[in-house]
Amino acid sequence: KETEFMIRSECSLRHSASLANKVFIQRDYTDGTVCKFQTKFPSELESRIERTLFEDTVKTLNNYYAEAEKIGGQSYLEGCLACLTIYLIFLCIETRYEKVLKKISRYIQEQNEKVYAPRGLLITDPIERGMRVIEISVYEDRGSSGSSSGSSTTSSSGR
Amino acid sequence: MITRKVTRKWEKLPGKNTFCCDGRVMMGRQKGVFYLTLFLIVGTCSLFFAFECPYLAVHLSPAIPVFAVLLFVFVMAMLLRTSFSDPGVLPRALPEEANFIEMEIEAANGNVMAGQRPPPRIKNVQINNQIVKLKYCYTCKIFRPPRASHCSICDNCVDRFDHHCPWVGNCVGKRNYRYFYLFTLSLSLLTIYIFAFNIVHVVLREYRNIFEHVVSLTPHCTVLEVLVCFFTLWSVVGLTGFHTYLISLNQTTNEDIKGSWSGKNRVQNPYSHKSIIKNCCEVLCSPTYPSVLDRRGVMLEDLSSPTPSDASAASTHQSSNPVSQTTKSSAPLIPNEHTPDEAKPGIGSGTQKSTSSPKEEKPPSPTSPNAVAPAVIKESSH
């Protein structure tokens, strides 16, 4: 369903625009191996979208992932119940992580529709890139002159 | 109307995994030792159920075989879960991502003089106020996340890589480590259980025979079971103890072997919560992570080559200018001290690829279509 939406969005963007560039938002490992993305605003998007909108999107995604990976009462319960049923219970019910992933994909779809597609951008769900990056495709109007190469990325200090 | 066979994503995955049941089952390449493990467990337990249990159930308690059955089922379930699940494989970078990373590395390194070795591809990140180095994987074209490592047998980067276990025929990583631990733990219990009741059985029979003057033939099976259990005990119980120690410190086997967190000048383990209970909880009770591989997703024709102009330009560019560029494509050509085991693509990488692809086609595993996979995936797989 998610990929169908992506195809439709891509097609509709392609009719009027061509893919100019892709920006990759990297993972932020300062808190360990939990899934968290850097909120640093990439320079390629400066002219395309407001910084606050972008940061909101990434922060919301980070919150969703934190919720999915939270080790607490619910994860213990899920783990113990699953162990007692030799993990056959996962044939019937969804894990909490999978439920949150569905919420994330709905959120990304909504953000694409409302915020990013009108600005000629498209966010790819990180799960499709191995949870390594948030890929943002930048589309240029076909009528506009040559697209920016985007290769002049200054190395970030956060690395 | 022609019905086309649907191509699922597992058929096009790079790496040397074996897939079964249309992508539902994922294993490592070499399965011989796994079959041995299965044979030993199933064989020994069958002998126990056939020869010991009737005697013990009658003379001691029927609960003994019942508990043995439950334990056996648990052991088999954990073994199959460990062997058949995705250990936490990180998919390789698609060409755009790989190029993006290459450009960032170039920007960070500046201009490298011709003939001079480019600096090793390392990224420093700060985790819990400690500096951890992230290495670049030349095969997968990514900077490996912390605790990830590349398995040369499966040819994949695996998240929280522990080790590649030939006994289960798969890597042990983030997603299946707890199943592996429960497998070794329950197998230890099962082995001790069978061993103990074999001894009890022998003792009971001999004891009875002294009073009943009946010549007894202790079944050879009992002796066989005792032998198997005896040798299994030392290895499996030892392994369980070792992994219990690792879990309490929140370390992986890989880190322990490499001595990542030991030694005076080394960083202390930044992932440990400094509390045994918290570490155990994190490793054993954390949420079940989903697989990021999407093995059973359907390959869509128009998404398999999303930017054909970019892909073909990239592939022709790389194949026609292997040596001329000193930084962009020759950096991977020179292995540095940080990548001793990884693929050492050289100028002859083209020939290496062509000789290795027929080998990949020989095993009946469904990864053979790699040879005819789109050029995009083939470039990124080496």
Chain B residues inside the 8 Å CB shell of A6? 303
Q: What CA–CA distance (Å, rounded) separates A64 from A54? A: 16
Integer Cα distance of A67 and B143 in angstroms:
26
More confident of the two residues B116 and B366: B116
Q: How far apart are CA A25 and CA A38, in angstroms?
A: 7
Interface test mutation site (partner B, options A28, A29, A70, A98, max chain B beta carbons within 10 A): A29
* CB-closest option in A10, A19, A24 to B97: A24
Residue B359 predicted with pLDDT over 50: no
Partners of B126 on chain A (C-beta within 8 Å) are 30
Structure tokens at A76: 């213990």
Q: Which stretch, A95-109, B265-279, B350-364, has highest mean pLDDT?
A: A95-109
**Helix (H), strand (E), coil (C) string for chain A:** CHHHHHHHHHHHHHHHEEEEEEEEECECCCCCCCCCECCCCCHHHCCCCCHHHHHHHHHHHHHHHHHHCCCCHHHHHHHHHHHHCCCHHHHCCCCHHHHHHHHHHHHHHHHHHHHHHHHCEEEECHHHHCCCCEEEEEEEECCCCCCCCCCCCCCCCCC
Q: Work out whether strand B170-172 and strand B163-165 pair parallel, antiparallel, or are unpaired.
A: antiparallel
Q: Label residues A39-74 b or e (16+ Cβ within 10 Å = b).
A: bebbebbeebbeeeebeebbeebbebbeebbeeeee
Work out the angle between the directed axes of helices A2-16 and A96-111 (0-180°, nearest 10). Answer: 20
In the structure, what pLDDT confidence band is assigned to residue B115 with cuts at 50, 70 and 90?
A: confident
Pick the more confident residue, B92 or A146: B92
Q: Taking all residues of chain B, what is their mean pLDDT, rounded to a whole number?
A: 77
Verify whether residue B165 is a known catalytic residue: yes
Do residues B130 and B45 lie in contact, with contact meaning Cβ atoms separated by under 8 Å?
Answer: no
* A4: chain B residues, CB-CB within 8 Å: none
CB-based contact B161:B23 (threshold 8 Å): no
- Determine the pLDDT at residue B174: 93
Looking at residue B12, what is its pLDDT? 84
Give, in order, the Cα–Cα distances in Å from A144 to each of A20, A48, B369.
Answer: 11, 14, 41
> In this structure, is the dihedral angle defined by the CA atoms of residues B33, B38, B41 and B45, taken in order, positive or negative?
negative
B42-48 contact pairs (CB < 8 A, 24+):
B42/B76, B44/B194, B44/B224, B44/B225, B44/B228, B44/B229, B45/B72, B45/B190, B45/B194, B47/B221, B47/B224, B47/B225, B48/B194, B48/B197, B48/B198, B48/B225
The residue of chain A with its CA nearest to that of B129 is A30
Q: B32-47 and B177-212 are packed helices; what angle lies between their axes, rounded to 10 degrees?
A: 30
Of the candidates B2, B1, B3, B12, the one whose C-alpha atom is nearest the C-alpha of residue B300 is B12
- Catalytic pick from B45, B151, B154, B165? B165
Nearest chain A residue to B89 by CA: give it.
A130
Q: Does A147 touch chain B (CB under 8 A)?
A: no
Q: Which two tokens stand for residue B15?
A: 């790496």
Nearest chain B residue to A35 by CA: give it.
Answer: B145
Q: What is the pLDDT of residue A71?
A: 85
Write out pLDDT tens, residues A141-155: 765 544 444 444 444
What's the pLDDT score for residue B219?
65
Q: How confident is the model at residue B148 (pLDDT cuts 50, 70, 90)?
A: very high
Nearest-by-Cβ selection for A33 from B126, B147, B287:
B147
- How far is A61 from chain B, CA to nearest CA, in Å? 17
Window 166-225 of B, Cβ < 8 Å to A: 179, 182
Average pLDDT over residues B224-249: 91
State whether residue A130 sits within 8 Å of chain B by CB: yes
d(CA B182, CA B195): 20
Mutate to test the interface with B, among A91, A100, A129, A154 (most CBs of B within 10 A): A129
Return d(Cα B14, Cα B44) in angstroms, integer: 38
What band does B380 get if pLDDT is binned at 50, 70 and 90? very low
Q: pLDDT band for position B2 (50/70/90)?
A: low
Per-residue pLDDT of chain A (159 residues; tens, 9 = 90+): 556 666 666 666 656 678 888 899 999 998 888 899 999 998 888 888 899 999 999 999 999 999 999 888 888 888 888 988 988 888 888 889 999 999 999 999 999 999 998 889 999 999 999 899 999 999 887 655 444 444 444 444 444
Per-residue pLDDT band for B362 (boundaries 50, 70, 90) equals: very low
* Residue B370 predicted with pLDDT over 80: no
The answer to whether the Cβ–Cβ distance between B281 and A71 falls below 8 Å is: yes
Q: How far apart are CA A58 and CA B194, in angstroms?
A: 54
What is the rounded CA–CA span in Å between residue B225 and residue B221? 6
Q: What is the pTM of this model?
A: 0.77
CB < 8 Å to A132, chain B:
90, 93, 97, 142, 145
User: What would the mean pLDDT of B208-232 be, rounded to a whole number?
Assistant: 71
Sign of the C-alpha dihedral, residues B265, B266, B267, B268?
A: negative
∠ at Cα A76 (B145, B149), nearest 5°? 20
**pLDDT of residue B89 exceeding 70:** yes
Residue in chain A closest to B144 (alpha carbons) equals A132
Report domain extents, chain B: 9-90+172-285, 95-144
pLDDT tens column, A64-94: 999 999 888 888 888 888 988 988 888 888 8
